[in-house]
């Protein structure tokens, strides 16, 4: 494990997730409890629940802007609410995963502000923004350490920082730092949170963009087996892309990922996926299921249903054209939702 001092519950989560792969692939949704189409909490709940009377097995949240001290994240979800949701998720035996679209520490711009060179180099030890980066990690550590359950134990979670690093749109992307700088940033972050801040409830997910053709491209910025628990990538069906093309592209990357996961003893996942607006009524059973069914993936996380951005949604809501097909997808024995995993006691340590 990336954290040799991980809590028993965190270790147990990883072992249980590994065992669960034999049963199926968990289905996840970003910001599922926070908002959806036509509602924002507390006036509504889970678009997936509205359709299936069940929740996803994996819930994604984003910590972007926590580093600024802001009370709300980059998509306007209050961090206090994210904590409440994450506790609910844990109480129902499901899994939380956190990404971090953190601002550019040099310019103060967003995660996508990638034009100024040298940002990663600047936050490494010895760099001019290093102290600022430590303050950011301190804020993260407070959040993770405060995320406790009813027995005051830290809630295990998946942390997926610096994602899509094989692309160039974030300031930590592949054309903005060398592989060595990226790897040093990752390793420093793990060590600082684990050892200096005593955060011991994290599984670390190394999550690439769909910009890799060969194992070596994926592995170019991999921080090493000592620094990751989960390996994954993000890929979306693009407008105009044929279904056959998308299924093929996904399958060939998944087979590379499966080899990597096996060789390095890591858990494979699709850390982000989707087809914006799901314009194809049978997308779930005809496109997603062929991709997932023999994949050996732990989970696939579908992106958010933005309440305030019409047309930016990735799972159906009541009335959406793929709603009925999603229920068929839900009913497949090897797509795992909250009710399928609640009895597994993923966190219990005998
Ligand atoms: C992107 C979009 C943005 C959002 C960001 C972080 O894919 O959904 O609207 O701000 O993710 O959640």
- Tell me the CA end-to-end span of the chain in Å, nearest whole number: 19
From ligand 1's centre to the CA of 303, what distance in Å? 8
* pLDDT score recorded for residue 277: 98
Domain that holds residue 49: 8-341
Residue minimizing CA distance to atom 3 of ligand 1: 75
Per the structure, the count of domains in the chain is 1
* pLDDT score recorded for residue 26: 98
At a CB cut-off of 8 Å and minimum separation 6, what does 211 contact?
166, 167, 174, 217
Which of ligand 1's atoms lies nearest the C-alpha of 101? Answer: 6
CA distance 303 to 89: 17
CA distance 295 to 291: 7
Which of ligand 1's atoms lies nearest the C-alpha of 62? Answer: 12
Kindly state whether residue 189 falls inside one of the protein's structural domains: yes
Which of ligand 1's atoms lies nearest the C-alpha of 64? Answer: 6
Residue minimizing CA distance to atom 7 of ligand 1: 303
The whole-number average pLDDT for the span 316-335 is: 98
Over residues 182-234, the pLDDT tens digits come to 999 999 999 999 999 999 999 999 999 999 999 999 999 999 999 999 999 99
Cβ–Cβ < 8 Å for 190, 204: yes
From ligand 1's centre to the CA of 195, what distance in Å? 31
Residue 44: pLDDT band (50, 70, 90) is: confident
Kindly state whether residue 313 falls inside one of the protein's structural domains: yes
Average pLDDT, the chain: 97
The whole-number average pLDDT for the span 270-297 is: 98
CA distance 63 to 82: 9
The whole-number average pLDDT for the span 130-159 is: 97
Name residues contacting ligand 1 (CB within 6 A). Answer: 62, 74-75, 101, 303-304
Residue 350: pLDDT band (50, 70, 90) is: low
28, with CB counted inside 10 A (0-12, 13-18, 19+), is buried
Kindly state whether residue 2 falls inside one of the protein's structural domains: no
Counting Cα atoms < 13 Å in the Cβ hemisphere of 336 gives 24
From ligand 1's centre to the CA of 345, what distance in Å? 32
Kindly state whether residue 350 falls inside one of the protein's structural domains: no
* pLDDT score recorded for residue 349: 66
CATH number at residue 168: 3.20.20.80
CA distance 119 to 208: 19
């Amino acid at each position: 494990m990336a954290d040799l001092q991980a809590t028993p519950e965190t270790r147990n989560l990883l072992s249980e997730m590994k065992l669960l792969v034999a049963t199926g692939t968990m289905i996840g949704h970003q910001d599922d409890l926070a908002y959806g189409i036509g509602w924002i909490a507390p006036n509504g709940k889970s678009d997936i629940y509205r359709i299936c009377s069940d929740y996803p097995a994996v819930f994604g949240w984003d910590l972007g802007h926590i580093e600024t001290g802001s009370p709300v994240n980059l998509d306007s979800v209050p961090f206090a609410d994210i904590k409440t949701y994450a506790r609910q998720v844990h109480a129902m035996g499901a899994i939380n995963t956190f990404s971090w679209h953190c601002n550019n520490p040099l310019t103060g711009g967003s995660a996508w502000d990638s034009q100024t060179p040298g940002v990663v180099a600047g936050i490494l030890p010895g760099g001019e923004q290093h102290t600022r980066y430590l303050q950011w990690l301190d804020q993260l550590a407070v959040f993770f350490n405060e995320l406790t359950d009813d027995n005051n134990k830290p809630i295990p979670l998946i942390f997926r920082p610096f994602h899509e690093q094989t692309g160039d749109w974030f300031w930590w992307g592949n054309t903005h730092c060398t592989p060595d700088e990226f790897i040093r940033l990752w390793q420093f972050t793990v060590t600082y949170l684990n050892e200096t801040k005593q955060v011991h409830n994290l599984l670390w997910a190394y999550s690439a963009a769909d910009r890799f053709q060969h194992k070596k491209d994926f592995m170019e910025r991999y921080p090493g087996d000592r620094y990751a628990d989960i390996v994954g990538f993000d890929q979306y069906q693009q407008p105009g892309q044929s279904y056959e093309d998308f299924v093929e592209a996904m399958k060939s990357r998944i087979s590379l990922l499966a080899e990597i996961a096996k060789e390095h003893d890591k858990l494979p996942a699709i850390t982000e996926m989707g087809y914006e607006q799901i314009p194809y009524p049978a997308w779930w059973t005809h496109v997603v299921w062929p991709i997932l069914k023999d994949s050996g993936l732990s989970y696939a996380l579908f992106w958010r249903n933005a309440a305030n951005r019409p047309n930016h949604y990735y799972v159906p809501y009541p009335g959406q054209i793929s709603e009925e097909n999603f229920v068929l997808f839900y009913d497949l024995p090897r797509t795992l939702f909250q009710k399928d995993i609640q009895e597994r006691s993923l966190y219990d340590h005998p």
